[in-house]
A and B are shown apart, each in its own frame.
Chain A
């Protein structure tokens, strides 16, 4: 749901007590847009111990019992807990702005 499509409800159309009467609002709201720092994964150092997955407060690290995949940046808010907890220094917190600038430079050549 894009911002432009939202219709604001009148006071009598809101459920009692400002309750949200359906589940799954996080599928609509991609909270990763708040992120200032991005955990950049060094795949050479990562041993797939899954400790980052245990600590991630937002369930943003997709894993199987054997493997850690790239962080889900739709939801990762860049709290940095994974980088602190990683016993192998495989995660580095990089300012999102630096990454965006680099991407822009590459795009523009």
Chain B
């Protein structure tokens, strides 16, 4: 176990601290709220010579990711960060990065998408990226964001897939909390040196010239995608491995999902990101009333923890999936569809219901989550009826 110290940091400060300790080779960034502050903190480290990072101020998020792809293909340890519309602007290049198997880190300080314009938190931006074959991890608070960033470097480089670390805009990024920080040496030993030969085909290895991003005609494209498909499923084991290694230095053992009072739970709520604390409080209050309820947090979002979810929900009567983004598709929110798909092979499938909450930074309270549980129970018992799988939790009538 390493030396640690507890200091008060915002989510963005904690993320910048992780970036400083990792000492990335290249960071190409374009500012957007609520990520701007993060890169402001990091730019100070660059200006003060506390890191060796080449910080490239580009003309937009599309270029930011393009720059990172080039740098990472060359062999540099690379990071960028964005939010909301910035993530949307990156999406084209996200497929390029994962298709070329570029290991790099993207911090998504979750923000709503326009219109109407909102700089506040929801998960619509990250949901745009769910089919891009980027590994995606959600953080509940500044502490988890800090830990996830450190682990993400290793996960990405072992898997040879790019990775997104999500933490909620403003709620996490701008709120101060106690964060346990590892010492610099421990972090640097954990991620290891950024030698170009840690990836198979570094462009800077001039003795072995290679081509990235060549054309594939119809006779090869399917094979390329299938290889990507097979390799992406190997990410589960790699994430578990890195979580285990990280537990050795931090004492904090993470898993794909986090379960809270689910053992005997009849009704289970599922959420991602910062709202999980509120969900746990809602569970506690309902437990005081004698309700057998529990909560699950998704930490690893892509690849989706299908087996873990199926196992965790195998005894539940009802499950309410709490989506911080809408899909507008007549089925349900993105997370709802993932949960429903994960249960497709289950013998005792629980009753499923979906609530959309927390859009555009709407604050969420225990009472609202309690209401979601109550509605689920009434639906499951046939007291209430519904027209759709999906309902809005916080809308004014």
Contact = CB atoms under 8 A, between A and B. Distances in A.
Interface of A: 8-12, 14-23, 25
A52 B84 CA distance: 47
Interface stretch (B4-12, B205-213, B302-310): B205-213
Given A9-B220, A20-B211, 4 more contacts: A8-B219, A14-B220, A16-B201, A18-B100
B99 interface: yes
Interface string B211-252: 110101001101110110011000000000000000000000
Contacts of B211: 19-20, 23, 25
Contacts, number: 58
Given A8-B219, A8-B220, A10-B223, A15 B209 contact: no
A11 B210 contact: no
B330 interface: no
B184 to A, nearest CB: 32
B154 interface: no
Interface of B: 99-102, 160, 200-201, 208-212, 214, 216, 219-220, 222-224, 226-227, 230-231
Nearest to A16: B101
A3 to B, nearest CB: 11
Contacts of B231: 16
B94 to A, nearest CB: 14
Contacts of A11: 222-224, 226-227, 230
Nearest to A20: B211
B227 A19 contact: no
Contact of B224 (A8, A14, A22): A14
Contacts of A23: 209-211
A16 B98 CA distance: 11
A17 B100 CA distance: 4
B212 A19 contact: yes
Nearest to A23: B209
Contacts of A8: 219-220
A108 to B, nearest CB: 35
A66 to B, nearest CB: 32
A21 B201 contact: yes
Nearest to A8: B219
Contacts of A18: 99-100, 214, 216, 220, 224
Nearest to A18: B224
Nearest to B216: A18
Q: Which 9 A-B pairs have the closest CB atoms?
A: A17-B101, A20-B211, A11-B223, A23-B209, A11-B226, A17-B100, A18-B224, A11-B227, A19-B201
B224 A20 contact: no
A9 B160 CA distance: 22
A22 B200 CA distance: 13
Which of A9, A20, A25: most chain B Cβ within 10 A?
A20
Contacts of A19: 100-101, 201, 210-212, 214
A10 B222 CA distance: 10
Contacts of B101: 16-17, 19
A89 B377 CA distance: 83
B237 to A, nearest CB: 17
Contacts of B227: 11-12, 14, 16
29 contacts: A8-B219, A8-B220, A9-B223, A11-B230, A12-B227, A14-B220, A14-B227, A15-B201, A16-B101, A16-B231, A17-B99, A17-B100, A17-B102, A17-B160, A17-B201, A18-B100, A18-B214, A18-B216, A18-B220, A18-B224, A19-B101, A19-B201, A19-B211, A19-B212, A20-B214, A21-B201, A23-B209, A25-B211, A25-B214
